[in-house]
Structure 1
Amino acid sequence: MMSRQGDFLIYCVETYKTAKNLTGKQVADLFTRYRVWEYVYSCFEALHTTGANYIVEDIDLYIEARKPIMA
């Protein structure tokens, strides 16, 4: 049986995938590259009470903050 956090991670992947028109593999690669898995897991208590749009925006902000600055 999955944990509430595990279920929520799946929900976040599906929500993000739909919002960004990506494949599951693309989202998994993105989440791995920018350590989104750890972020969502560590912020579960705060994030799981928010709506889908907020979650997508929050993940976008998290990824943007971790992208290297292009000179």
Structure 2
Amino acid sequence: MGMSKQGKFMIYCAEQYKLAKHLTGKQLAELFSRYRVWEYVYSCYEALHTTGTNYIIEDIDLYIEARKPAMA
């Protein structure tokens, strides 16, 4: 069975983010799991897949920042 377009897009986003942030695959997986980035990218597929790579990376950054516990 072939991968869905959403699945391919999620991998694309992950690869681009990993390259931009100089992360290892393990670091990326931990980050995306901790902050539920996979679910976010999947749920926002319709909006995100029409944007550019830089926008996607910034959008993921903003999403992660918003989910981080506030530093007291």
Name the TM tier (shorter chain).
over 0.9
Aligned: 1:23 with 2:24: yes
Unpaired stretches in structure 2, ≥5 consecutive residues: none
Deviation at 1:21, TM superposition (A): 0.4
Question: Normalising by the residue count of structure 1, what TM-score does the alignment of the two structures yield?
Answer: 0.97
Map 1:1-71 onto structure 2 (within 5 A): 1-71=2-72
CA distance in 2, matches of 1:70, 1:54: 26
Secondary structure, in 3 states, of the residue corresponding to 2:66?
helix
Deviation at 1:43, TM superposition (A): 0.3
Deviation at 1:28, TM superposition (A): 1.0
Q: Residue deviations 1:25-56, cap 9 Å, x none?
A: 11111000001000000000000011110000
Question: Normalising by the residue count of structure 2, what TM-score does the alignment of the two structures yield?
Answer: 0.96
- Sequence identity (%): 79
Matched letter for residue 11 of structure 1: Y
CA distance in 2, matches of 1:5, 1:34: 19
Unpaired stretches in structure 1, ≥5 consecutive residues: none
